[in-house]
A and B are shown apart, each in its own frame.
Chain A
Amino acid sequence: MSQSQLANAQTSAQISLPVAAGQVGRLSQALMAMALGLFAVGMVGFSNIDVVHNAAHDVRHSNAFPCH
């Protein structure tokens, strides 16, 4: 590896480091939001609590979620 390539590699490493750290933060935040979304869908569509079932009854049928 020539000197200039080495320098390039170092520069790109320096540049990509904070970007990579940002990506991890972005990924974990995205995963958190997705888990929240699945929880909401799970409550509306799959909760066995009678009151939740009765309130969301027509939506469960309309979304073809397994019901009853």
Chain B
Amino acid sequence: MSTFRSIVFASVISGFIVGLVVTVVQQFGTVPLILKAEVFEKAAATHHHDAPVAAEPTAAGHDHSGQEHAAHDHGDHEHGAGDHEHGAGAWEPRDGFERNAYTAAANVLTAIGFALLLAGFFAVRSGVTGMSVSWHEGLLWGLAGFAVFTVAPGLGLPPELPGVPTAPLLSRQIWWLAAVLATAGGLAMIAFRRSVPAAMSGVILLTLPHLIGAPELANVDTNVPSSLTHQFVTAVTVTSLVFWTLLGGVTSAVFARFDRGATV
């Protein structure tokens, strides 16, 4: 079987297992906190929407369509400011089963995606060493994934609940990606180059994104309680630890099974 097929088969199987397990874990950890925060978010949103219409009756009062237009503009403005406002009228899953089904599907897709990345490394690694990557080594790769994709970006951009205002999306996405790349590069320098200069540049790479600093708002005005945010940071980090260790272990074990014929 070709390497590509082994990687894809192993990733799809592992992604399904880990994605579904994590969906269950999230139902107890992160999802209840998101739903609680959305109550605060919706309360704030209706308050915001009512305010300008009541405050400017003359500006919007000429005819009915004008008033609607003014309200719509206000909604757009909020979205641009980074508030938690979905695109007006865009489809979204209904609360309950439908919403959780899409969450499960998105979790499985994410897990398959990250499994493809891990299995790609396992294929290269086992090709170089001539031995398949053990579940234990796979778990360590999973821990590296946890450090790269959760810990490092989370230091600068802690997990956010809906309804908490944040810096503009694009700037955060760019910093997130930079933190991920720098951390992956830094860890690789330390793990695979056994020299002092390489280790030092690795450490510099690890710290660099945090010296530059993540984009943040000068003052955050939210009615989401800080205790809820704190619980959410813990829940996300622990869930992610489960996700990555499980994904590393399972993907390496399944990939080794599919790839056995190819490496020997």
Q: Is A66 within 8 A of B93, CB to CB?
A: no
Query: How many Å lie between the Cα of A41 and that of B111 in the bound state?
Result: 8
Q: Is B7 within 8 A of A29, CB to CB?
A: yes
Bin the interface of chain B by size: 35 or more
Indicate whether B132 reaches chain A with its CB closer than 8 angstroms.
Answer: no
- Chain B residues with Cβ below 8 Å from A43 are 109
Answer whether A59 and B169 are a contact pair too, CB < 8 Å, given A33-B116, A54-B91, A64-B240: no
Query: How many Å lie between the Cα of A21 and that of B249 in the bound state?
Result: 29
Answer whether A36 and B160 are a contact pair too, CB < 8 Å, given A30-B3, A56-B102, A59-B107: no
Query: How many Å lie between the Cα of A32 and that of B154 in the bound state?
Result: 28
Q: Is A62 within 8 A of B239, CB to CB?
A: yes
Indicate whether B124 reaches chain A with its CB closer than 8 angstroms.
Answer: yes
Indicate whether A40 reaches chain B with its CB closer than 8 angstroms.
Answer: yes
Q: At the interface with chain A, which of B67-75, B81-89, B135-143, B196-204?
A: B81-89
Q: Mark B82-108, 1 if CB is under 8 A from A, else 0.
A: 111111001111000001001101110
- Chain A residues with Cβ below 8 Å from B245 are none
Indicate whether A7 reaches chain B with its CB closer than 8 angstroms.
Answer: no
- Chain B residues with Cβ below 8 Å from A32 are 4
Q: Is B2 within 8 A of A29, CB to CB?
A: yes
Min distance, Cβ A9 to any Cβ of chain B, angstroms: 21
Within 8 A of A (CB), among B16-45: 26, 29-31, 34
Min distance, Cβ A4 to any Cβ of chain B, angstroms: 26
- Chain A residues with Cβ below 8 Å from B86 are 50, 53-54
Residues of A within 8 A of B (CB): 22-23, 25-27, 29-34, 36-41, 43-46, 50-51, 53-59, 61-68
